[in-house]
Amino acid sequence: MNLHTLLQSIPFIKMPEHNPEVTNIVNNHRKVEPGSLFICITGHVFDGHNFAKEAVDHGAVAILAERKLDLGVPVIVVKDTTRAMAILADAFYGHPTQNLHLIGITGTNGKTTTSHLIEAIFREYKKVTGLIGTIYMKIGDRTIETKNTTPDSLVLQSVFHEMVNEKVDTAIMEVSSHALVQGRVNGCDYDVAVFTNLTQDHLDYHHTMEEYRLAKSLLFSKLGNSYHKNKKFAVLNADDKATKKFIVETSAHVVTYGIDSPSDFMASNINLENGGTSFTLHTPEGNIDITLKLMGRFNIYNALASIAAAYVSNIPLDLIVQAIEKATGVPGRFESVNGGQDFSVIVDYAHTPDSLENVLKTIQQFAKKRIFAIVGCGGDRDPSKRPLMAEIACKYSTNAIFTSDNPRSENPLSILADMEKGAFGNYQIIPDRTEAITSAVQAARNGDIVLIAGKGHETYQIIGDQVFDFDDRLVAVKAIKER
Ligand SMILES: CC(=O)N[C@H]1[C@@H](OP(=O)(O)OP(=O)(O)OC[C@H]2O[C@@H](n3ccc(=O)[nH]c3=O)[C@H](O)[C@@H]2O)O[C@H](CO)[C@@H](O)[C@@H]1O[C@H](C)C(=O)N[C@@H](C)C(=O)N[C@H](CCC(=O)O)C(=O)O
Ligand SMILES: Nc1ncnc2c1ncn2[C@@H]1O[C@H](COP(=O)(O)OP(=O)(O)OP(=O)(O)O)[C@@H](O)[C@H]1O
Ligand SMILES: N[C@H](CCC[C@H](N)C(=O)O)C(=O)O
Ligand SMILES: [Mg+2]
């Protein structure tokens, strides 16, 4: 696509004299190739304008910037390059989301789990699916590595473009609050927007719970304001108090789910068993008894959200039920680790107060003996959740062990000191994560449960700016074998 055609998508722009062919768009100078349009982003850490010269040296044929630069190639100046990037990415890749049934999921906890459940339902319906989220991006069965839960607009639109080329009809994606605020999803034409829940996290970034809620609300307020063509649906959790505000903020059709509050998709007669969960599902078409392979009351919410999202997407209810009953767990979420031991070891991605409480309460329901809870908190992330998570670990376990998660640029001991402010009773501090896991595995006896929380599917640990190989599941198995 030539530069002038590409720039037509941005109103009132001053067209440069030269009109080179643009072969790709990048915002990292390391990805520049001959023919690239390089977009200078003023970021949280770096100023992309500082890499513009290097970009030209590597073959960039044009620059999009927030200030004038003299580089010998066309430099187009706009007020906000991040905003312009989403518009250009959508145009460059041919508005791919208009050719996809797009489902976005937002909320503090349960996005990855819910996205996998929705994927499982659509696959049962013989649809070709795409998935974008914390663990990976997927096109059909092919997985692609990802850095962020919701990638930037350039990566997103290029992946959607690949999805369209590979005949994907439904794309399911996690939409983080950071992505909504940073406009990473501008240009995404959602058909269904799902809300899981809103509890404390990310206050380092959003500052207050109301600001955090407003970030989440953008998924619903941007759902579109026309009833003319395709129907748009907001699928909302009736048991969460944010839902009342989201209903006001969206003009889409609203469908609710819940356990306690009257809703369109409701669960009653809940039976939480070890190894599964059963409940009666109330739907607009009548009641159905359901048995899930997933454990815990919180997974009923994830299942209800998925059922509702599939239902408004016109998938027959009997098929939805068939798929949801078959669905197994997601990597790193309540994942059992088996090294032949006579006690349970569970790896879970709980890294917020609410998720930790949920997972520990679920474990308490089945625990016959002691519960070891290995818990840490990430560095460079909301410090106010640290004492809360420690308090929850002490409250719902018999043996709390505080350790490091991803310390990042922070001193692990100061993170642990923050946690200790909420701790009480019988707890230990073992900063080295391998030692913490090994110590719990060595102390555990027949019938005990060891929960290793916080890192789930992660296969690394970030200490300083170094990334080390680290997988809770492998460390636990090794410790079990060495017992
Ligand atoms: C604080 C934050 O959200 N940062 C995100 C933001 O980065 P940024 O725009 O500030 O980038 P920057 O690193 O300052 O660089 C500025 C520009 O210089 C360019 N650059 C930089 C260095 C260089 O050598 N050359 C170069 O060209 C960069 O490519 C960029 O264009 O935009 C980037 C692209 O979208 C993100 O990858 C990055 O996420 C960072 C890595 C991050 O850790 N974010 C977390 C907080 C996050 O977003 N998490 C949510 C999930 C949260 C949840 O719900 O649990 C997520 O969606 O992942
Ligand atoms: N609906 C839910 N409500 C509360 N807690 C949940 C729910 N679903 C899952 N959890 C807990 O939260 C953890 C993370 O779940 P999941 O990965 O599905 O959430 P997420 O929203 O994708 O998280 P992230 O924002 O880090 O990507 C799980 O390991 C479990 O402990
Ligand atoms: N998406 C979350 C993941 C947290 C995972 C936890 N292991 C940590 O590093 O804090 C975040 O960026 O806050
Ligand atoms: Mg996730």
Q: Residue 26: which of 70, 79, 92 has the closest Cα?
A: 92
Residue type, 151: P
Say how far apart CA 344 and CA 342 lie, in whole Å.
7
The pLDDT of residue 142: 97
Tell me how many domains the chain contains: 3
* Pocket of ligand 2 from Cβ distances under 6 Å: 107, 109-113, 134, 149, 174, 196-197, 298, 301-302, 333, 348-350, 354-355, 358-359, 456
Q: Are 175 and 294 in a shared domain? A: yes
Domain boundary among the residues 266, 294, 326 is at 326
Q: What is the pLDDT of residue 230?
A: 75
| Ligand 3 binding residues, C-beta < 6 A | 149, 351, 378, 381, 405-406, 454-455, 458
Q: What is the CATH number of the domain that holds 18?
A: 3.40.1390.10
- Between the CA of 204 and the centroid of ligand 4 the distance, in Å, is 18
Nearest CA, atom 34, ligand 1: 152
What is the extent of the structural domain holding 407? Answer: 335-481
**Pair (174, 301) in one structural domain:** yes
Where a domain ends, among 53, 76, 92? 92
Residue with CA nearest ligand 3 atom 9 = 378
Residues 151 and 293 in one domain: yes
213 Cβ closer than 6 Å to some ligand 1 atom:
no
Residue 67 Cβ contacting ligand 1 at under 6 Å: no
Q: How far is the CA of 331 from the centre of ligand 4 (A)?
A: 11
How far the first Cα of the chain sits from its last, in Å, is 62
125 and 43 both lie in a single domain:
no
Residue with the smallest CA separation from ligand 2 atom 31 is 350
Q: How many other CB atoms sit within 10 Å of the CB of residue 469? A: 8
Residues 432 and 453 in one domain: yes
For residue 284, give the 3-state DSSP assignment.
coil
Which has the closest alpha carbon to 202: 378, 406, 460? Answer: 378
Assess whether 84 and 101 both reside in one domain.
no
Kindly indicate whether the ipTM for this predicted assembly is greater than 0.95, answering yes or no: yes
pLDDT in tens, the chain (483 residues): 999 999 999 999 999 999 999 999 999 999 999 999 999 999 999 999 999 999 999 999 999 999 999 999 999 999 999 999 999 999 999 999 999 999 999 999 999 999 999 999 999 999 999 999 999 999 999 999 999 999 999 999 999 999 999 999 999 999 999 999 999 999 999 999 999 999 988 888 999 999 999 999 999 999 977 787 778 999 999 999 999 999 999 999 999 999 999 999 999 999 988 788 999 999 999 999 999 999 999 999 999 999 999 999 999 999 999 999 999 989 999 999 999 999 999 999 999 999 999 999 999 998 999 999 999 999 999 999 999 999 999 999 999 999 999 999 999 999 999 999 999 998 999 999 999 999 999 999 999 999 999 999 999 999 999 999 999 999 999 999 998
Same domain, 134 and 266: yes
Of the residues 302, 326, 350, which one is the last residue of a structural domain?
Answer: 326
Residue 442 has which token pair?
């060595």
Q: What pLDDT sits at residue 200? A: 85
- Co-location of 423 and 475 in the same domain: yes
Nearest residue by C-alpha to atom 15 in ligand 2: 110
pTM above 0.80, yes or no: yes
In ligand 2, the atom with minimum distance to the C-alpha of 134 is: 27
Please name the residues in contact with 389: beta carbons below 8 A apart, sequence gap of 6 or more.
352, 353, 356, 375, 377, 419, 422
Q: What ligand is nearest to the CA atom of residue 385?
A: 3
Q: Quick one: which atom of ligand 3 is closest to the CA of 377?
A: 10
- Name the closest-CA residue to atom 27, ligand 2: 134
Q: What distance in angstroms lies between residue 180's CA and the mean position of ligand 4's atoms?
A: 14
Q: What gap in Å lies between CA 191 and CA 189, rounded to an integer? A: 7
Closest ligand to the CA of 176: 1
The CATH number given to whatever domain includes residue 426 is 3.90.190.20
What is the 259 CA–ligand 4 centroid distance (Å)?
A: 23
Both 123 and 238 in a single domain? yes
Q: How many angstroms separate the Cα of 184 from the Cα of each of 105, 224, 308?
A: 14, 17, 26
Cα 175 to averaged position of ligand 2 atoms, centre (Å): 13
Say if residue 152 is in the same domain as residue 282.
yes
Same-domain check for residues 208 and 305: yes
Please check whether residues 41 and 137 belong to one and the same domain: no
CATH code of the domain covering residue 132: 3.40.1190.10
Q: Describe the crossing of helices 385-396 and 412-420 by its angle, rounded to 10 degrees.
A: 60
CA pair distance 298, 132, nearest whole angstrom: 22
**Residues within the annotated binding site?**
107-113, 148-150, 176, 182, 184, 381, 405-408, 454, 458
377: left (phi over 0), alpha (psi -120 to 50) or beta: beta
